[in-house]
Amino acid sequence: MSKEARRKLSEMLRELNLAGVAAAHEEASFRAEKEGWGFERFLHHLIELEVEQRRQRRLERVIKAAKLPAGKTLATLNKDLLPVKVRRQIPTLVEGSFVERGENLLAFGLPGRGKTHLVCALGAELIQRGYTVHFTPAYALVQRLLAAKQSLGLEREMRRLDAFDALIIDDIGYVQQTREETEVLFTLLAERYERRTVIITSNLVFSQWDRIFKDPMTTAAAIDRIIHHCVILELNGASFRAEAAKARMPQATESATA
């Protein structure tokens, strides 16, 4: 094939959005000729490269949209500090069947118990299995929804969030919402009910959620929608941050006496 013919072929492949084939077809054709490939093997090789590149590009887009905090993965999670029951649940959770069923996941525990790290690690694993995930602190989510409502764009913002299979809402217990903020949060939970997964971390048990939703009826309705189909993780072990601080103390002592 002439140089001009190769150039035109590359242009046509890019026009067809076959960037992987366009980038690899020349090298692949030389290899096929050298190794005596048949046409089917040559075509299979090119399509395989295209599929893999598309898969990688999609994964990069999904990871970027997830906005998961850097470094919070299962590999960096100290599982020894998690309660035994929670450790046993992790292999099943990372498979993602609860997301397929539109079930929710709640991680309860005092500050420093690894709630955020755990749910982010689960989110990262779910992404690798083809699910879309989005992480947001509760206060940021509420302000985002409230701003959308005030600009008459709440429905559009709900559709954006609905595109994610699992929505991670972090530290819901720290937000003391006004009634208007409570309404948009409740609307989101109601919209995702039995359709899309919410993953929530909280340092407040359900009996204290009236601090969040203020009105007893709204509190009861929110809890009812969340726990109807729900996995609950109770992280009542040692504080991750306290243990990390202890581990650093001998090093600090040695540095001070050196």
Confidence at 212, pLDDT banded by 50, 70, 90: confident
The pLDDT of residue 29 is 78
Q: How confident is the model at residue 130 (pLDDT cuts 50, 70, 90)?
A: very high
Q: Could you give the percent of the chain with pLDDT greater than 70? A: 87
Question: What pLDDT, on a 0 to 100 scale, did the predictor assign at position 150?
Answer: 92
Tell me the mean pLDDT in the region 157-184.
87
What is the reported pLDDT for 83?
A: 92
Sign of the torsion angle spanned by Cα atoms 243, 244, 246, 250: positive
Q: Over 90: is that where the pLDDT of 197 sits? A: yes
Does the residue 118 lie in any domain? yes
Strand partners, 137: 170
**pLDDT band at residue 116 under the 50/70/90 scheme:** very high
Note whether 130 and 155 are same-domain residues. yes
Q: Indicate the pTM of the whole model.
A: 0.80
Higher pLDDT pick, 179 / 96: 96
User: pLDDT confidence of 140, banded at 50, 70, 90?
Assistant: very high
Domain-embedded: residue 153: yes
Mean pLDDT of the chain: 85
Confidence of residue 209 (pLDDT cuts 50, 70, 90): confident
Q: Do 72 and 18 lie in a common domain?
A: no
pLDDT on residue 25: 74
Could you tell me which residue, 33 or 96, shows the higher pLDDT? 96
pLDDT value of residue 38: 82
pLDDT value, residue 111: 86
Same domain, residue pair 8 and 103: no
Does the residue 255 lie in any domain?
no
37: Cβ–Cβ under 8 A, 6 or more apart, which residues? Answer: 31, 45
- Based on the domain organization, do 98 and 224 belong to the same domain? yes
- Please report whether residue 120 resides in a domain: yes
**Last residue of one domain, picked from the residues 37, 65, 93:** 65
Boundary (domain end) residue, out of 42, 65, 88: 65
Q: Are 202 and 232 in contact (CB under 8 A)?
A: no
Q: Residue 185 is part of which domain span?
A: 67-242
pLDDT in tens, 5-42: 667 767 777 777 777 777 777 787 778 788 888 888 87
Strand partners, 201: 107
Question: 167: pLDDT confidence band, cut at 50, 70 and 90?
Answer: very high
Name the domain count of the chain: 2
Q: Is the pLDDT of residue 244 over 80?
A: no
What is the reported pLDDT for 201? 95
* pLDDT given at position 149: 93
- In a shared domain, residues 78 and 194: yes
pLDDT at 194: 87
Look at residue 65 and tell me whether its pLDDT is greater than 70.
Answer: yes
- Are residues 201 and 157 part of one domain? yes
